[in-house]
């Protein structure tokens, strides 16, 4: 058994069907009809302690609903779920003490209080010892530079500052499991990299299990070796990023800088872009190797510099959706 075990988990919502017209509204007072909406259907997976897993999918795929069942906010319609040996919706308070949660669009901090006072209130909520509190605050302050805005009310923080404060708040009580929902949304490049580095350090140094939902595939590529892809409430793929790349990421791009702007014709590759001396050549790595391609180019022009681009994971996933394919 893993630290998180999900078996045939489903969640359905029953939505009242709206009747048209005045008489329809009157009839609905005495007899309501309901539409069943399935948000999650027969989802199963297991996550080991210390893993960092990307849980991704398009809007409405069922990601947030799954996370809410794992945190105990929602009760499943069917199936079983255990988190750290607990059934989340049955033992909500105990479960809350072993998990940390960061929702990118919502804050767990007190809006009108200085940031440091939110941390002190959370210390009381979780009954954190003075020693543990000082140790964690020292660590988080050093890495995330929290002291830059300790005395600033939360409502006056920039988005990047608030996200830094939120992730520190979620880890203050030393949870074993961290749920991150869009932790880098809206952040600039520097803030994103700082956030990713911090998450990675907490995972490596403290062994915290991380479940990450995001639309930024750079988060997944930077942090996660394993990805669970969900679509229309069902698991479409569960495995390593390398397997996805091997099956769906066969296309690569060779970027060459030539000594002079030269028209080149390369068999087995497509010239997709040209900017003066720089050329972009797309090729299928199963049909021709990069070395063979470079040799063809060098036969026609002098090469000043070159680089290879791997396909981005989000374009690969888009291809999976478009082709209606799954990997198991």
| Residue 328: predicted pLDDT | 52
The answer as to whether 156 is a domain residue is yes
Q: CATH number for the domain including 260?
A: 3.30.70
Does 206 share its domain with 274?
A: no
**Residues 93 and 185 both lie in one domain:** yes
Q: Give pLDDT tens digits for 210-267.
A: 999 988 888 888 899 999 999 889 998 999 987 877 777 778 889 999 998 888 888 8
Neighbours of 149 (CB within 10 A): 19
Of 26-30, 45-49, 281-285, the least confident? 26-30
Residues 51 and 143 in one domain: yes
Check whether residue 211 and residue 282 sit in a common domain. Answer: no
* 120-174 pLDDT, tens digit each: 999 999 999 999 999 999 999 999 999 999 999 999 998 889 999 999 999 999 9
- What per-residue confidence (pLDDT) applies to 17? 67
Domain encompassing residue 285: 250-309
pLDDT of residue 31: 64
Q: Work out whether the CA dihedral 293, 295, 296, 297 comes out positive or negative.
A: positive
Residue 88 lies in a domain: yes
Say if 322 falls within a structural domain.
Answer: no
Give residue 170's pLDDT. 96
pLDDT at res. 310: 74
């Amino acid at each position: 058994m893993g630290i998180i075990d999900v078996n045939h988990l489903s969640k359905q919502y029953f939505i009242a069907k709206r009747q048209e017209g005045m008489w329809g509204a009157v009839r609905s007072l005495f007899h309501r009809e309901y539409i069943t909406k399935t948000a999650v259907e027969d989802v199963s997976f297991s996550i080991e302690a210390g893993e960092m897993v990307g849980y991704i999918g398009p809007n409405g795929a069922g990601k947030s609903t799954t996370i809410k069942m794992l945190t105990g906010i929602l009760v499943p319609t069917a199936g079983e779920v255990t988190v750290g040996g607990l059934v989340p919706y049955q033992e909500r308070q105990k479960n809350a003490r072993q998990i940390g949660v960061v929702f990118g669009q919502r804050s767990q901090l007190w809006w009108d209080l200085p940031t440091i006072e939110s941390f002190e209130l959370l210390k009381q909520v979780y009954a954190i010892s003075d020693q543990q509190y000082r140790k964690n605050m020292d660590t988080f302050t050093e890495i995330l530079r929290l002291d830059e805005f300790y005395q600033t009310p939360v409502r006056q923080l920039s988005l990047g500052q608030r996200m830094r404060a939120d992730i520190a708040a979620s880890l203050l009580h030393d949870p074993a499991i961290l749920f991150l929902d869009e932790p880098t949304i809206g952040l600039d490049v520097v803030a994103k990299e700082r956030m990713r580095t911090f998450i990675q350090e907490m995972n490596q140094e403290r062994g915290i299990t991380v479940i990450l939902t995001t639309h930024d595939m750079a988060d997944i590529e930077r942090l996660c070796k394993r990805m669970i892809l969900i679509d229309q409430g069902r698991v479409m793929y569960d495995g390593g990023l390398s397997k996805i790349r091997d099956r769906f990421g066969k296309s690569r791009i060779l970027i060459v800088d030539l000594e002079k702007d030269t028209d080149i014709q390369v068999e087995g590759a497509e010239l997709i872009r040209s900017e003066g001396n720089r050329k972009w050549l797309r090729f299928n790595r199963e049909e021709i190797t990069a070395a063979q391609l470079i040799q063809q180019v060098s036969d026609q022009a002098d090469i000043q510099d070159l680089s290879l681009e791997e396909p981005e994971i989000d374009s690969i996933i888009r291809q999976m959706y478009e082709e209606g394919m799954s990997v198991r």
